Amino acid sequence: MATTIGTETNLVDLLTDLVQLDYDAADAYQAAIDRIDDTTARSSLTAFRQDHLRHIEELGTILRQMGHEPPQEGDMKSLLTQGKVMLGNLFGDSAILQAMRTNEADTNTAYERAVEHQDVDAATRQVLQRNLADERRHCEWILSRLGK
């Protein structure tokens, strides 16, 4: 499912949506970790989940500094991201990684847009760029594991 995150007109909405997206991604990673058989892949997925939890903390701090309370959980998209992983589980590790690849496509797109948002100050842009680098690394690793 293509994401619309990154198209928000104001920064608070953008950061709020990114926090929710990172919660959804962390939940999907946990679903994959719980189901994948490959221990090497499980270790990498665990590290990627930690990256998403760090994104939540960093963006939450920025939102609080702006006077807004960050979300404490994902939104309904979490069911979709986890559901893809659970369906993938029926077909093995490769299908789980394929589900995670589609989830990472959304996070990459969202952060690519966020970095370019007109209202982002320099300090926030640095955080967004670092998060985008994480997302690209996640996607590259998954693609390499899938042999693409």
Average pLDDT of the segment spanning 69-74 = 84
Q: By percentage, how much of the chain surpasses pLDDT 90?
A: 68
Domains of the chain, CATH where assigned: 11-145 (1.20.1260.10)
Angle CA 75–111–36, to nearest 5: 65
Please, are residues 122 and 50 in contact by the beta-carbon 8 Å criterion? no
* Residue 75 pLDDT: 55
Tens digits of residue pLDDT in 86-98: 444 445 688 889 8
DSSP string, the chain: ----TT--SSHHHHHHHHHHHHHHHHHHHHHHHHH---HHHHHHHHHHHHHHHHHHHHHHHHHHHTT-PPPSS--THHHHHHHHHHHHHTT-HHHHHHHHHHHHHHHHHHHHHHHT-TT--HHHHHHHHHHHHHHHHHHHHHHHHTT-
Q: Per-residue pLDDT for 83 more than 80?
A: no
Q: Per-residue pLDDT for 8 more than 60?
A: yes
